[in-house]
């Protein structure tokens, strides 16, 4: 019983404070007193070691990532063409919620006439993004001189699936229900419901000497014969720390466009990007 009482006193303080509170009878032999002291020291030491900071609960850090790219293409001759494209990605991730913003803008001239003036912004709020399956809200705002769109807005709700998520490979699939409105320059305005499926991937290759990224969307309408798809594909080669050389290819198709406009567009550009992964 006396030994159990000693164990109870382990929670009262450090080894020195604990030993000071223990009064052993003077009648006990000195070797027995020394043995008891060694046992107490051993138990307390084990107790303290088991409470090291490694056992502490560490809350996930709030993580901020970004990538900003400036690309362009120029040619002179029978056709003088200039194109500059700014693309960016900003992501803030907390324990439950993740916010993604993707603003971009492109401007182009052909024979000194403005051909492209394309502002674009999409925003996503992901819930439980650390899980394999998650949900999100999305909104999108854009205008396009090239496609004759004065203003387009859309918003919706969807679910996502992290198919693969490692340091070298990130692949996800999302599906979204959208409500969309488009104001054309020289055509009837459109308001409709649309489904949007997206396949997004990022792959680090050759010991991180090359990064391949893609965003592929397929967006059919529920209410009429109206669909579109587009894909963005990028190769990034590290130059110095967070600076990369970037080769970018984008292709887009819309089944419904104003009279005199093409259904498809293709853009190849190169430049630099800077970011924190």
Residues 206, 147 share a domain: yes
Same domain, 51 and 67: no
Structure tokens at 46: 């084990």
- Tell whether 67 and 26 lie within a shared domain: no
Tell me, yes or no, whether 208 and 149 share the same domain.
Answer: yes
Q: What total of structural domains would you count in the chain?
A: 2
Mean pLDDT computed over 50-78: 70
- Per-residue pLDDT tens digits for 7-16: 444 444 444 5
pLDDT tens per residue across span 205-244? 998 899 999 999 999 999 888 999 999 999 999 998 889 9
CB atoms within 10 A of CB 249: 15
Residue of 245, 252, 241 lying closest to 276 (CA atoms)? 241
- Shared domain for 69 and 167, answered yes or no, is yes
Q: Which of 94, 95, 98, 180 is nearest to 135 (CA)?
A: 98
Q: Which residues contact 244 (CB under 8 A, 6 or more apart)?
A: 211, 236, 237, 238, 272, 273, 274, 275
Tell me the residue length of the chain: 277
Q: What is the dihedral of CA 122, 127, 132, 133, to 10 degrees?
A: -80
Report the CATH number that the domain containing residue 221 is assigned in CATH. 2.40.230.20
Q: Which residue has the tokens 């970011």?
A: 275
Identify whether residues 14 and 131 lie together within a single domain. Answer: no
User: If pLDDT is split at 50, 70 and 90, which confidence band does 125 have?
Assistant: very high
Q: Which of 66-75, 77-86, 262-271 has the lowest mean pLDDT?
A: 77-86
Residue bearing tokens 């080669």? 237
Residue 7 confidence (pLDDT) = 47
Integer Cα distance of 132 and 146 in angstroms:
38
Phi, psi of 207 (to 5 degrees): 55, 45
pTM of the entire predicted model: 0.72
pLDDT at 56 over 50: no
Same domain for 135 and 241: yes
- Do 85 and 24 share a structural domain? no
The verdict on 98 and 132 lying in the same domain is yes
The domain containing residue 31 runs over which residues? 2-55
- Mark whether 32 and 101 lie in a shared domain: no
pLDDT reading at 21 higher than 80? no
In the block, tokens 């925003």 appear at: 123
- Measured from the Cβ of residue 109, the count of other Cβ atoms closer than 10 Å reads 15
Say yes or no: 172 and 205 in one domain: yes
Rg (CA), the chain: 31
Using one digit for the tens of pLDDT, what is the confidence trace for 150-166?
999 999 999 999 999 99
Q: Are residues 18 and 83 in the same domain?
A: no
Q: Which of 158, 77, 73, 152 is nearest to 116 (CA)?
A: 73
């Amino acid at each position: 019983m006396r030994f159990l009482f000693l164990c109870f006193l382990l929670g009262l303080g450090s080894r020195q404070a604990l030993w000071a509170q223990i009064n052993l009878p003077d009648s006990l032999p000195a070797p027995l007193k020394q043995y008891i002291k060694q046992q107490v020291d051993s138990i307390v030491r084990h107790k303290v070691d088991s409470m090291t900071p490694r056992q502490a609960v560490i809350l996930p850090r709030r993580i901020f990532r970004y990538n900003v790219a400036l690309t362009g293409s120029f040619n002179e001759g029978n056709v003088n063409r200039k194109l500059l494209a700014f693309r960016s990605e900003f992501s803030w991730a907390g324990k439950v919620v993740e916010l993604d913003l993707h603003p971009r803008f492109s401007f182009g001239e052909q024979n000194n006439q403005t051909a492209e003036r394309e502002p674009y912004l999409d925003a996503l709020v992901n819930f439980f993004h650390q899980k394999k399956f998650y949900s999100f809200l999305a909104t999108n705002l854009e205008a396009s001189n090239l496609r004759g769109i004065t203003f387009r807005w859309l918003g919706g709700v969807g679910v996502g699936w992290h198919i693969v998520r490692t340091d070298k490979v990130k692949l996800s699939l999302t599906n979204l229900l959208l409500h969309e409105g488009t104001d054309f320059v020289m055509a009837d305005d459109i308001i409709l419901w649309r489904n949007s499926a997206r396949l997004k991937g990022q792959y680090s290759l050759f010991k991180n000497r090359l990064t391949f990224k893609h965003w592929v969307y397929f967006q059919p309408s529920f209410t009429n014969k109206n669909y579109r798809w587009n894909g963005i594909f990028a190769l990034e080669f590290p130059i110095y720390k967070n600076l990369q050389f970037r080769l970018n290819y984008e292709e887009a198709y819309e089944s419904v466009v104003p009279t005199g406009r093409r259904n498809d567009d293709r853009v190849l550009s190169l430049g630099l990007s800077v970011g924190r992964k």
